[in-house]
């Protein structure tokens, strides 16, 4: 068995809801509510779900941009919470983040050279600063004269390449990509996805790839984790999830994918009702209020994420009727 690069155990991230003149805490938004998963070296773990399920918050927690409310994160066998000083600084170098919005994540007052080199300066990386910047600019498919220009002079796809270059210039081990192509034109999405695949192979990277587009996730991911209302409901290889989805929510997501072959039709599963509030989620299974196969046990007992019935123990599902 391989040792995971990143081990996540019962991670919780809640945001307080404050009201009134004194801003008293009256509730908690349960964005991530007890997630456990391993990320292995060299793999791409896709995290998929509809808007508001907590996938972007999970990505930010994994990259260290948000502190956990509770739970345990360990990187290369060492607890993230226990690392201080030089160890913490090294961890920041090994874990990088690619943001969804390539415009809002780049400082408009800085040149591309300074944006990319900011991490080098913060980490006091030795060597020729300009050479390192020019090298990564070339690797992501931008011209060298891009270094002296400003973000507003580039298209959306080019800005995202700048964001990728900023994340990779430090040669990290883990990259969390938060919907890196959702803000781009469809014609540009495939170019950026292919670039991410090439860079993963060249730099021997490990990705956590957050997205809501199942076609995008299936193209780039080795394994896929499906989230619903702060919980993982299914986890397996890409082939397992697409050939034999075991959770009703996963089946509904797959049925909504466009069929690329003319004349072929999918049996569409339409989910009734709205997603419940993450401030007051349903008891038991959180999907039960919209599930077509829900029974009384679904309200009384929360299903655990465990091996689905069948010959593949690594295929995990949280459903009483998997």
List the alpha helices (DSSP H) in the chain.
Answer: 55-62, 85-94, 112-122, 129-139, 156-168, 186-203, 214-220, 238-243, 248-255, 296-300
Residue whose tokens read 């002296």: 148
Residues 192-209 have pLDDT tens digits of 999 999 999 999 999 999
Domain 6-221: top CATH class: alpha beta
User: Nearest 5°: phi and psi at 274?
Assistant: -100, 160
Count of C-beta atoms within a 10 Å radius of residue 281: 17
Residue whose tokens read 């390539």: 102
DSSP symbol at 148: G
Query: To 5 degrees, how large is the angle CA 104–CA 183–CA 206?
Result: 90
How is the chain split into domains, by residue range? 6-221, 245-322
Spatial CB neighbours of 171, under 8 Å, sequence gap ≥ 6: 203
Crossing angle (nearest 10°) for helices 112-122 and 156-168: 20
- DSSP sequence for 210-276: EES-HHHHHHH-SEEEEEETTEEEEEEEHHHHHHS--SHHHHHHHHTSPP-STT------PPPSPPP
pLDDT at 1: 59
pTM for this entry: 0.92
Average confidence score pLDDT of the chain: 91
Residues of the chain with pLDDT below 70 are: 1, 263
């Amino acid at each position: 068995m391989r040792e995971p690069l990143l081990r996540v155990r019962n991670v919780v991230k809640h945001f307080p809801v404050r009201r009134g003149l004194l801003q008293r805490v009256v509730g908690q938004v349960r964005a991530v509510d007890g997630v456990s998963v391993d990320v292995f070296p060299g793999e791409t773990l896709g995290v998929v779900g509809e808007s508001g399920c907590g996938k972007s918050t999970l990505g930010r927690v994994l990259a260290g941009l948000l502190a956990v409310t509770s739970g345990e994160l360990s990187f290369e066998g060492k607890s993230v919470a226990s690392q201080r000083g030089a160890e913490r600084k090294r961890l920041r170098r090994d874990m990088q983040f690619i943001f969804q919005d390539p415009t809002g994540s780049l400082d408009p007052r800085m040149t591309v050279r300074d944006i990319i080199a900011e991490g080098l300066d913060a980490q006091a990386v030795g060597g020729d600063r300009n050479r390192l910047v020019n090298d990564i600019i070339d690797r992501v498919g931008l011209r060298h004269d891009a270094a002296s220009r400003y973000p507003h002079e580039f298209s959306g796809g080019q800005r995202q390449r700048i964001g990728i270059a900023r994340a990779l210039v430090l040669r990290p081990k883990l990259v969390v990509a938060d919907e890196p192509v959702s803000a781009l034109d469809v014609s540009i999405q495939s170019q950026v996805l292919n670039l991410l695949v090439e860079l993963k192979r060249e730099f021997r990277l490990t990705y956590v790839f957050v997205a809501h587009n199942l076609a995008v996730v299936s193209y780039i991911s080795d394994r896929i984790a499906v989230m619903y209302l702060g919980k993982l409901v299914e986890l397996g290889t890409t082939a397992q999830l697409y050939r034999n989805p075991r959770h009703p929510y996963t089946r509904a997501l797959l049925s909504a994918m466009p069929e690329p072959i003319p004349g072929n039709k999918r049996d569409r599963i339409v989910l009734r009702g709205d997603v419940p509030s993450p401030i007051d989620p349903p008891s038991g299974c959180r999907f039960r209020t919209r599930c077509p196969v829900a029974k009384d046990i679904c309200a009384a007992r929360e299903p655990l994420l465990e091996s689905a019935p069948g010959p593949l123990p690594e295929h995990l599902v949280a459903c009483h009727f998997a």
